[in-house]
Amino acid sequence: MKNIAQLFKAAAEAELIHAHNHLRSMGLIKTSTDNVKAILDEKVYTSEMYQQMIEHAKTEGDSWSIKSLCYAYEAGKVVARLFENVLKNIHEEKEVDIFVCKVCGFIVENDIPEKCPICGSQKKVFKKIDCKDQI
């Protein structure tokens, strides 16, 4: 089983490398400020897209898809707020710990809540994000 998990992680890392290379070749990797603005623009589109997908899942009666899409939609709103805050304070060097809920993708800085505000999962499901093992 460990080999399968390692292979999935390696494949995800490889896809990240591919994405970076493609973006670089298209001239889409720019300054931090430009990149944050692009993410915020994308979040507006993604928000509208999730709303439409949620409505479609409701008409289909697909409860798991509704839950999954709602998690992504709500977590995306939090991500947008975090990036907006970063953009306002782009020149500040501020050390923060960042944690992600492994169930729904909710992101929080510094203090992990006892329960995830989106999915209700316990504090123990949050994972600390460490940049030193990133590409």
In this structure, what are the phi and psi dihedrals at residue 109, rounded to the nearest 5 degrees? -100, 135
Q: What is the per-residue pLDDT for 64?
A: 94
Residues 99 and 124 in one domain: yes
Given pLDDT bands bounded at 50, 70 and 90, which one contains residue 135?
Answer: very low
Residues 35 and 88 in one domain: yes
Of 15 and 46, the one with more pLDDT: 15
Q: What is the per-residue pLDDT for 133?
A: 54
Of 92 and 108, the one with more pLDDT: 108
Residues 81 and 119 in one domain: no
Q: Tell me how many domains the chain contains.
A: 3
| Structural domain range at position 125 | 95-135
Q: What is the per-residue pLDDT for 42?
A: 77
Residues 7 and 23 in one domain: yes
Residues 109 and 68 in one domain: no
When the pLDDT of each residue in the chain is averaged and rounded to a whole number, the result is 87
Residues 51 and 21 in one domain: no
Residues 11 and 55 in one domain: no
Residues 40 and 87 in one domain: yes
The residues that bridge with 122 in the sheet, in sequence order, are 115
Distance CA 44, CA 22 (A): 23
pLDDT in tens, 37-68: 887 877 666 788 889 999 999 999 999 999 99
Percent over 70 (pLDDT), the chain: 93
Distance CA 79, CA 63 (A): 24
